[in-house]
Amino acid sequence: MEGEGNGSICPISTQTERGKTMIVLQLLIYCLLFTAMVKIAVIGGAVNGLYFYPKTVQDQAIEWECEQARKVVIWDEPSI
């Protein structure tokens, strides 16, 4: 038969390929947006990224960060 399967403007195989491409594109955009959101959330330090954690976890993280800041020792370079 002449023209069998060529009657539509957009064949089914092309539609499924477009669907797959759209899903991959949406997934890529989602991952990039999520990465950007996390990077923005932790600009001032990792404690800022704890916004969605329970208050007890936030308090423990802040306490741990303060303890670590007290332990920091500045070493002078030996003069040669």
Write the pLDDT tens digit of every residue in 1-57.
444 555 556 666 677 888 889 999 999 999 999 999 888 878 877 667 777 788 888
Phi, psi of 48 (to 5 degrees): -65, -25
The span from the CA of 25 to the CA of 43, in Å, is 27
Q: Would you state the structure tokens that stand for residue 32, as one six-digit string?
A: 């990039």
Which pLDDT value is given to residue 60?
A: 86
Say if CB 55 and CB 44 are below 8 A apart.
no
Does residue 71 surpass a pLDDT of 80? no
- The pLDDT of 56-65, averaged and rounded, is 83
Please report, for residues 2, 69, 78, the alpha-carbon distance to residue 75 in angstroms, rounded to integers and kept in the order given.
Answer: 85, 15, 9
Which pLDDT value is given to residue 51?
A: 73
Which pLDDT value is given to residue 16?
A: 83
Which pLDDT value is given to residue 30?
A: 97
